[in-house]
Amino acid sequence: MPEDEAPEWTAPEGSWASSAARRRNMQAIRSRDTKPEWLIRRLVHAQGLRYRVAARPLPDLRRTADMVFRTAKVAVFVDGCYWHGCPEHYVPPKTNSGYWSEKVVRNVKRDRDTDRRLTEAGWLVLRFWEHELSSACADVIAATVLARRTGLGRT
């Protein structure tokens, strides 16, 4: 085979991708800076609040929140309906369903573990679905952060 020709990709046994096209498609899905995240961040920023993007709330926890307000100890997550198992919009996949369904279950378990760990460390976790109205999410975030900063929301 000439060097400039790549061999046709085939999924190895037990692979997560059912085809080369599916693999490219799945790799193209953004894990951060999604449109819902971007819209919510823009609205929160317009209200005068500043935050860290895709940051670790806790340095020893290898998980990042979409928005982190360190002084208020608020971590915000904007969860995708498919990847996080939205009760309204999640539809099990038709191909390679075993792998993808298990992955979503693992994501949900990791989300609950993250919530628990952050709460135990004194953080407030706010989670929103990607389908929620961005302005409503931004208003909740702003009100919560301002309340925590002024001591009204401390527990």
Q: How far apart are CA 102 and CA 39, in angstroms?
A: 30
Total count of domains within the chain: 1
In the chain the first and final C-alpha atoms are separated, in Å, by 67
Stretch (H or E) spanning 54? strand 52-55
Per the structure, the complete domain to which residue 53 belongs is given by 31-149
Collapsing DSSP to helix, strand or coil, 5 comes out as coil
Q: CATH number for the domain including 135?
A: 3.40.960.10
CB 28 within 8 A of CB 40: no
Residue 36, domain member (yes or no)? yes
In this structure, is residue 91 part of a structural domain?
A: yes
One digit per residue, the tens of pLDDT, for the chain of length 155 reads: 444 444 443 444 555 555 676 566 655 565 677 899 999 999 999 999 999 999 999 999 999 999 999 999 999 999 999 889 999 999 888 888 888 899 999 999 999 999 999 999 999 999 999 999 999 999 999 999 999 999 865 54
Nearest to 55 by CA among 132, 131, 123, 138: 123
Q: Which phi and psi (to 5°) does residue 103 adopt?
A: -65, -45
80 within domain boundaries: yes
The H or E element spanning position 105 is helix 97-120
Is residue 14 domain-resident? no
